[in-house]
Amino acid sequence: MAFLEELKITGSLGNLSFYKMRGVDKIVVRRKGGAPREYVKNSPTFKVPRLNMSEFGGCSKMGKEVRLMMHPVRVLSDYNFSGFINKALKIVQKQDGIGELGQRSIMLSKHPGLLAGFQLNKNTMFDSVLRTPITYVLDRETLSARVNIPALLRDINFHPNNRHARFCIDVSLGIVPDFNFDPKEGAYKPSAWYTTMFAPKSVSSPWFPALKGSPATSMEIALTDQVPADESYSLMLTVGVRYGSPMEDDIVKDVKRAGVAKVIAVAGRPEGEISEEKPPLKAMTLEEFRGEEERQATASIQSAAACIYGWRSTTPHQTVESTEPSDHLPKAGPVSPTQVEIKSSPEKSEELIITEVSSFVEHNPEARLRLTPDNRTSETHASLPFQEHHDAGGGSHDEQQGPDIDKSQQQFGDTLQSG
């Protein structure tokens, strides 16, 4: 950045521009340049820059509303913080992982912490003047706030500017709407309920002598005539210290650009209202749906091994926890079903197909792990039956299975023993 020291001119001179900038004592000089306006607006080369320009334009529009809600304490700042507000809103905009480039929403109500703590001063910070905790209550339901400031003692927890004899505390409260891209108009806009009737409100404490400090102060403020139609807004609370000079008849005149201010809190929408946006469901036929369901229900080899050998493993959809190792399995004769417990929600598939466990499964693709939901508990019990028998004459479970175990079942039992 170039500066002009000797000459005192502003405006344009040939290919140069001379202007003043708030926060800079000297005159700033820049050279005119860049591509022509029509070329930037229509050329395919600038397609991505146009999308970025659209998003930054939305941040600038919303930044204007943020600064509007700071208007009562904006005069306490000592630099032009517009660019820093836009930068913070750009970070908020990048949190939108759903919208396309050039149309991403600016949902400050979902990320209020990115603006809370913003300082309106660069030379003297708010925290360096009021070196004491400030408690507050910010309520979205009633659109009100209460700020409690403890007793301030000079050179203890209060370090004001020595050039000013009086000070007071200012509290400002305002509603900042979220901005979304409107495809019809091709621009960023707030919600339809946000009109010019929404404006900040502020309260101020009495004037106190800067050499002594002030007693404990409690200040309340409410937006009684402003009711948003939905939850797409943020409630912003700003606190500042204003300096003044005593005049005649006990009148105190404000000193501009001499105070300090800070955004101490931003209340976003309730956590219950913040839900992760999911992509739209894909339309599919019944056959495709069944195939997708069967694919998601297929267990991995690691999960199957966890069912048999007592490991613990987690699939993308289910947590599998098996019982003790199969040391109690008999060496010969009938083998009882291997019992496992699978923690799963009732919405999951009721049949878990094991594609590969051992050589037995390769030759017997009919082997399945059947899940039987139990309505009385939140867990699902599963078993690996070797063969189902239906005996009309009754009898125990072992008596039904023992005589009818075939060679494939015996092979599966030998596989368990070798494992």
Per-residue tens of pLDDT for the chain, all 419 residues: 666 666 778 888 888 888 888 778 888 888 887 888 888 889 999 999 999 999 999 999 999 999 999 999 999 998 889 999 999 999 999 999 899 999 999 999 999 999 999 999 999 999 999 999 999 999 999 999 999 999 999 999 999 988 999 999 999 999 999 999 999 999 999 999 999 889 999 999 999 999 999 999 999 999 988 889 999 999 999 999 999 999 888 889 998 888 999 999 999 988 755 544 444 444 455 555 556 555 544 433 333 333 333 333 333 333 333 334 444 444 444 444 433 343 444 444 434 434 444 444 455 554 444 444 444 433 333 334 444 444 444 444 444 444 444 555 555 556 555 54
The answer on 2 and 53 residing in a single domain is no
pTM, to two decimals: 0.60
Looking at residue 6, what is its pLDDT? 67
The answer to whether position 395 is within a domain reads yes
Q: How many domains does the chain have?
A: 3
The pLDDT of residue 302 is: 38
Name which of 248, 238, 258, 402 is nearest 330 in CA terms.
402
Query: Are 67 and 15 in the same domain?
Result: no
Residues facing residue 280 across a β-bridge: none
Which residues neighbour 164 within 8 Å (Cβ) at sequence distance 6 or greater?
Answer: 210, 243, 244, 245, 255, 258
**39 lies in some domain:** no
Inside any domain, residue 281: no
Report the Cα–Cα distance between both ends of the chain, in Å, rounded: 75
204 and 251 housed in the same domain: yes
Same domain? For 269 and 290 the reply is: no
Is residue 59 domain-resident?
yes
Q: Are residues 268 and 292 in the same domain?
A: no
What are 401's two structure tokens?
């299975």
> Are 217 and 294 members of one domain?
no
Is residue 279 included in any domain, yes or no? no
Look at residue 100 and tell me if it is in a domain.
Answer: yes
**230 lies in the same domain as 93:** yes
Q: Which of 224, 250, 273 is the last residue of a domain?
A: 273
Taking alpha carbons only, the member of 152, 70, 153, 168 closest to residue 118 is 70
CA distance 222 to 203: 10
Count CB neighbours of 299 within 10 A.
23
| Cα 190 from Cα 243, distance rounded (Å) | 35
CB contact at 8 A, 8 and 18: no
26 and 54 part of one domain: no
For residues 9 and 65, state if they share a domain.
Answer: no
Q: Is 278 a member of any domain?
A: no
Same domain, 293 and 225: no
- How far is C-alpha 198 from the geometric centre of its chain's CA atoms? 26
41 in a structural domain: no
Domain boundary among 248, 273, 298: 273
pLDDT confidence of residue 65? 95
Q: Which domain does 377 fall in, by range?
A: 286-418
Is there a single domain that holds both residue 232 and residue 109?
yes
Residues 129 and 154 placed together within one structural domain of the fold: yes
Last residue of a domain, one of 214, 247, 273: 273
Residue 338's closest CA among 358, 310, 376? 310
User: What number of other Cβ atoms are within 10 A of residue 31's Cβ?
Assistant: 9
The pLDDT of residue 249: 80
